[in-house]
Amino acid sequence: MTTVQETPTEAPASLEFWWNAGLTWERYLADEITEHRNLWEGVYRKSGTLEWAVEEFERMGRRWNLIAIAEDWCGDASNLVPIFARLAEASPLIDLRIVKRDEHPELMDLYLTNGSRSIPVVVIMDEAFQPVGRWGPRPAELQEFVITEKRAGERPASEIYKDARRWYARDRGETTLREVLAIMAEAV
């Protein structure tokens, strides 16, 4: 199972519209995060961008625009969006905007995961705001684990999510960045 799915063929007339509706990381952090602020800030503080990832992105020699569809209450978003924020800070070739899922369901509905509004989803666009791929809502390995555990029905969701948080803490965004790099590499 993979969390990387095809980009919809019926993208909005211009993803640039959603880009312009999006928030910068700084604004999102300052004005929009009302739940679990300490978690968001903690992940951001602890997630130094991996130099190898910045080098790989820059080796491609292209500008990339990323739209992260997220909400502040989402544990997966709080563990992943700060990673993308650090990446955008570290590379002049990557820009990030965050669009709130619940305020923009028409965008979210273009990027469903198995029919669900699972977040975060990152829409990967080139410099002309043309979609080249999407990523989310979790790294493939973790997504498979969560789905398998939920289907088994032997543990409460709260226990499964504790394991997911431990996975994120160990991984520190490395798997996520490798998966996004793979999507971008296919578009180059």
For residue 118, the model assigns a pLDDT of: 94
Distance in angstroms (rounded) separating the CA atoms of residues 130 and 64: 10
CATH architecture of residue range(s) 15-187? 3-Layer(aba) Sandwich (3.40)
CB burial readout 104-128, b (16+ within 10 A) else e: eeebbebbebeeebbbbbbbbbeee
- Map out the domains of the chain as residue ranges: 15-187
CB burial readout 91-102, b (16+ within 10 A) else e: bebbbbbbbbbe
Q: What pLDDT digit, counting tens, does each position of 87-102 carry? A: 999 999 999 999 999 9
For residue 47, the model assigns a pLDDT of: 84
Q: Please count the other Cβ atoms lying within 10 Å of the Cβ belonging to residue 73.
A: 13
Q: What are phi and psi of 8, to 5 degrees?
A: -60, 145
Partnered with residue 116 across adjacent β-strands are: 113
For residue 50, the model assigns a pLDDT of: 79
Please state whether the predicted TM-score (pTM) of the whole model is above 0.85: yes
Distance in angstroms (rounded) separating the CA atoms of residues 94 and 116: 28
Give me the residues of the chain with pLDDT under 50, please. 1-11
For residue 13, the model assigns a pLDDT of: 57
List CB contacts of 115: < 8 A, sequence separation 6 or more. none
